Every structure is written in C-alpha cells, then in structure tokens.
Amino acid sequence: MRKTTQFRQLLESSDFETILEAHNGLSARIAEEAGFPGIWASGLCLSSQFGVRDSNEASWTQVLEMLEFMSDATTVPILLDGDTGYGNFNNLRRLVTKLEQRHIAAVCIEDKLFPKTNSFLAGETQPLADMSEFCGKIKAGKDAQSDDDFCVIARTEALIAGRGMAEALRRADAYTEAGADAILIHSSRSTADEVLEFRSEWGDRSPVVIVPTKYHGTPTEVLRDAGFSLAIWANHLLRSSLLAMQRTARVLKRTGQLSAVEKTIAPLSEVFRLQGVDELKRAESRFLPEVVPVARAVVLAASRGAALGELTADRPKAMVAVEGEPILGHIATAYRSAQVKDITVVRGYKKESVELGGIQTVDNDEYETTGELYSLRLALEAIDDNGTDLFVSYGDVLFHRGVLDLLQRAEGDFVIPVDTNWRESANLGRYADFVSCSAPPSRRGYKQNVEFVRMGVDIPQDELSGEWMGLLRVSSAALPVLRATLDRLLEDPAQREADMGVLFNRLVEDGGTVNVVYTTGNWTDIDELHDVVDAVSFQ
C-alpha cells in the first residue's frame, strides 16, 4: 500500500494511533522496528540533530535531504513537520511536490510567521499568521498534490499564543473549509484540559491530532477515549539519545578506558544490522562476479634469522621492517595482488610479534630443533584441501607478483621458478639453493618442458642450471602426494631439520616430476643486514 494511503487510513480510521519522532535514517528505522505505524519528522529534532535552533535555521532543502534518507530507510508513512511551509503559498506548493517525489505521506503546517520558533519558547509572544493568508496556503498545498491520499494537516497555535478556545475553533473551521485533512491542536499546558475541551467542542468535523509533550502525565487512555485520531510522541528518540551520548562522553573522558562503556553501548553488529548490511551481502552474491579463489599460500617464517643481529632480537626476520612495513606485509601484498588471499604463516621464534591483518597463523613451537619441512607439514595439517593450488614460500623472500603469474600459468603438479642469473650469487660467494635441471636455460626454453633434477651444495658448477627462487606451486591434485611425501620423510627423525631441497629431491627419487620455470630477477632474499637495506630498492 502506498505510504500516502497508509497515512490517510491512520488519520481517518476510528482507532486512536500514535506515531513517533525520528530525525535521520537510523532513528526512523528504529521507530518502524518498534512497531510504530508512522513517523513524525519533527522540526525540533531535525534542527537539533543538525546542531541548530528550531527557528528555520536549517534550510528546507536540508530538511528535505534528511527526509529522503528517512523515507528510503522505512516502509511506514512519514508526516513532515513543515513549520510554516517555509514561506508563502508558493513555497508550500513546491514543498508538497518535492515531498511527494520522496514518498513522504503528509505535511503539517502551523499558522505562525516565517521564521518561526519552537512553540515552547515564549509561545505566547509569537505572532499568528493571518487566517485568510493561511487558508490560501492550505488550498495551494492541496492543489499541488498529485496523489489524492497525500495529507495536509493544519496546526493552529491559537491556544499556545493565548488567543483562546473560540479563536482556535474559528481557525480550525476555516482551515478545514480550505481543505485541511485534519487539525493539529497544540497546547503548552501541563494538563490536557485545553485539548480535551477543543476535542469535545470540535466534534467530528475532521480528525484531530495532538502533541502531548507537555501533558505527558495524562494517561494515554484518556486521550484515546476523548476521540483524538492521532497522538505524536514528538521528540522522545532524540531526547533519549542525548542522555546516552552525554553519559558515554563523560565516562570515556573520566576513565580514559573504552572498557568502561563497552557494555552500555550498542554492539557494532547492531549498527551493521540497522544499516541493512545483510541485504548488501545477499545482493553482492547475486550481482558481483563470483570470485573463485585460485590458490592459497603457506609462508614458512618460524626461524629467527640470527644473521640480522639486533634487528631480530624481539621479532623474527619476517617481521623486520622494510620501508616501514614488515617483510611479511610485502609478501602478503604480492600474494593478494595475484588474488591469493588465503595466506597461512608458520611462526615460531617470538611468535607473538607475528601479527598481520588478514592472515592465519600456525605455530611451530619446536622451531629451534626442526626445519622447513616440519613447519610445512604443520601448515598442511591446519588447512583443508579446498580444490585450489598451493604456493609455498619463505618469510624472508620477497618477490614480484609476476613470478606468481608465471608459476600459475606453468603446467605441472610441482613447479618452481629458477633464476638463470645464478652466477651472480656464485660470484658473491653467498649461500644459494643451486639446482640442476633437465635442460639449460635458453631463448627457446619457454617451449621446453624443463624438469628439476637435483638441488644441493655438491653439484659441480658445470651441471648447475640456476638458483631456486624460494617459491613452489603445488597443484590441488598433487596435495595428497605432498602430504604423503612429507609424512614419509618426517618419519625419519634425522629429517626433522630437513629443508625444501630435501623434498624436491625426494619427489624426483620417488619417480615424480618437479617442473621448472626459468626466469631472471623479480625476487630477493634477505639473509644478511645489507639485504634489508637493498630490499628497499626492490619495492
């Protein structure tokens, strides 16, 4: 049912109804969720939430903008407190058109002069509008509406202004004659006597609406029995939120502890629920292309990296900063840029310092007496096979995303990148994982199916093909082979400290194949202090 029709039924049914104030999208949703069949977009509360006075300091378009959020957030009708209509008949015409465009069900205008102020601030001294001018405004509003059920409610301030009951009735009559759908009779008394008298004098000439803010002691049954159509609880969400916010601010300032308020404030999950986050999730699954994870990664980062001295006194090498970001952070960024988002890090030395958003960790508490294969097996125990490939790399090896792309494109169950520029490392005399392969690197090598033959420090120079770059891709189909090979290797206590080279050699000895992708550069490992400095230019 249209919101306008819902509101007209509220107003014209013989039942007494109450509607609640709201002043933004969230409070409007709260009012609806509580079961109120309609919402009062209070001028007092809308101006208060902007931090200005209820004296037309907020422009009508600012009010309109907030109304749009309120209307979008709710399904129940909204009655706008339209003050004096923000000008003359012409302004009201435009307002009605704009309200209808935003599915606002009704507007209430009061017979005061622009700029008005709140009725409870020296209400008696506020001049009333000329009655016939106000009647013209009502007619113009009714004339502007395109939906027959849109309502214009005329509010008379005659009682507030101290002009007496006869004047209130005279004005109410004229406004009804001009086309008002209902009369709002306002009073600033602390008892309901005035409005009850008006109600009984008025009879059933049109529905009567009240705002019992000041006569809050009057039982609601009295108002119901008197035959009012609608009572507006005009400012109660705003006033309750003020107390809550003031308390939280005071306690936080006094204690300096978030824990002092956590139990008295809404959980974040409630904020997300009120925002409708679930709906967005459902929509995303309908409308966004499905992101199929292609691979995940295990990063072996359990050892200290003692060669870095003081830098690893309180953290493992993987957490040493390069350009303000831990090495592990750079590694995670490279993986994520290749859509590898599921990253498991095996930590050991100073494990509590290994923290990074969005990664899982697995602990190797025996890191001092075990090696890479032991850590890898722990990681594999912690992750289920989910049908995606697996990358394995080290917490001290940086690489560019392109290396991952090469590995992903390569055929084979076990694929490793081998740097053809191995002589550089050999000349520097540094430790390197030299490998020999089934064919040397060549310009035609990309067509060849090159296989890993062996890794070891004992390979003669003329048999070397390159340097392993510290990365491995295992196809999802080969994960069981990887697990079984690790299990068999680690059955032998002598292999507790075995490294990845031992695994590659064993895979080949067992008759398996480890494929090789030749490439050059785009990676670096951090073994010594000067590597940390050099890594800055790697980024």
Q: Under the rule (CB under 6 A), what is the footprint of ligand SPV?
A: 42-44, 54, 81, 118-119, 211, 213, 234-235
DSSP string, 141-202: HHHH-SSTT-EEEEEE-TTTTT-HHHHHHHHHHHHHHHT-SEEEE---SSSSHHHHHHHHHH
Type of residue at 82: G
Nearer to ligand SPV, 125 or 427 (CB): 125
For residues 331 and 401, give the distance between their C-alpha atoms in angstroms, rounded to a whole number: 9
The item of Mg ion, ligand SPV, none sharing an interface with residue 213, based on CB under 5 to 8 Å by kind, is: ligand SPV
Give the nearest distance from C-beta 157 to ligand SPV in angstroms: 9
Nearer to ligand SPV, 54 or 467 (CB): 54
- Cβ atoms of 345 and 299 closer than 8 Å: yes
What values do phi and psi take at 200, rounded to 5? Answer: -75, -35
What six digits make up the tokens of 535? Answer: 């890594």
The item of Mg ion, ligand SPV, none sharing an interface with residue 234, based on CB under 5 to 8 Å by kind, is: ligand SPV
For residues 24 and 31, give the distance between their C-alpha atoms in angstroms, rounded to a whole number: 11
Nearer to ligand SPV, 49 or 388 (CB): 49
The item of ligand SPV, Mg ion, none sharing an interface with residue 235, based on CB under 5 to 8 Å by kind, is: ligand SPV
The item of ligand SPV, Mg ion, none sharing an interface with residue 119, based on CB under 5 to 8 Å by kind, is: ligand SPV
Nearer to Mg ion, 32 or 81 (CB): 81
Give the nearest distance from C-beta 54 to ligand SPV in angstroms: 6
Q: How many residues does the chain have?
A: 539
Give the nearest distance from C-beta 56 to ligand SPV in angstroms: 11
Nearer to Mg ion, 82 or 501 (CB): 82
Give the nearest distance from C-beta 278 to ligand SPV in angstroms: 32
What values do phi and psi take at 523, rounded to 5? Answer: -155, 160
Q: Percent helix, strand, coil in the chain (nearest 5)?
A: 45, 20, 35
Give the nearest distance from C-beta 118 to Mg ion in angstroms: 6
The item of Mg ion, ligand SPV, none sharing an interface with residue 117, based on CB under 5 to 8 Å by kind, is: none
Nearer to ligand SPV, 110 or 372 (CB): 110
Nearer to Mg ion, 86 or 349 (CB): 86
For residues 419 and 146, give the distance between their C-alpha atoms in angstroms, rounded to a whole number: 75
For residues 215 and 192, give the distance between their C-alpha atoms in angstroms, rounded to a whole number: 6
Strands 17-22 and 39-41, how do they pair? parallel
- The residues binding Mg ion (CB under 5 A) are 43, 81
Query: What count of other Cβ atoms lies within 10 Å of the Cβ of residue 101?
Result: 11
- Cβ atoms of 358 and 341 closer than 8 Å: yes
Give the nearest distance from C-beta 145 to ligand SPV in angstroms: 21
DSSP string, 450-464: -BEEEE-TTS-GGG-
- Cβ atoms of 229 and 208 closer than 8 Å: yes
Give the nearest distance from C-beta 43 to ligand SPV in angstroms: 4
Give the nearest distance from C-beta 19 to ligand SPV in angstroms: 11
For residues 201 and 2, give the distance between their C-alpha atoms in angstroms, rounded to a whole number: 33
What values do phi and psi take at 9, rounded to 5? Answer: -65, -40
* Omega before 441 within 30 of 0, i.e. cis: no
Give the nearest distance from C-beta 283 to ligand SPV in angstroms: 35
- Cβ atoms of 514 and 451 closer than 8 Å: yes
The item of ligand SPV, Mg ion, none sharing an interface with residue 312, based on CB under 5 to 8 Å by kind, is: none
Q: Does the annotation count 81 as an active-site position?
A: no
For residues 187 and 21, give the distance between their C-alpha atoms in angstroms, rounded to a whole number: 18
- Cβ atoms of 47 and 117 closer than 8 Å: no
The item of ligand SPV, Mg ion, none sharing an interface with residue 522, based on CB under 5 to 8 Å by kind, is: none
Nearer to Mg ion, 44 or 407 (CB): 44
Closest CA relative to residue 468, chosen from 404, 420, 527: 420
Type of residue at 52: V
Catalytic position from the list 15, 54, 147, 149? 54
Nearer to ligand SPV, 125 or 259 (CB): 125
Residues taking part in catalysis: 54
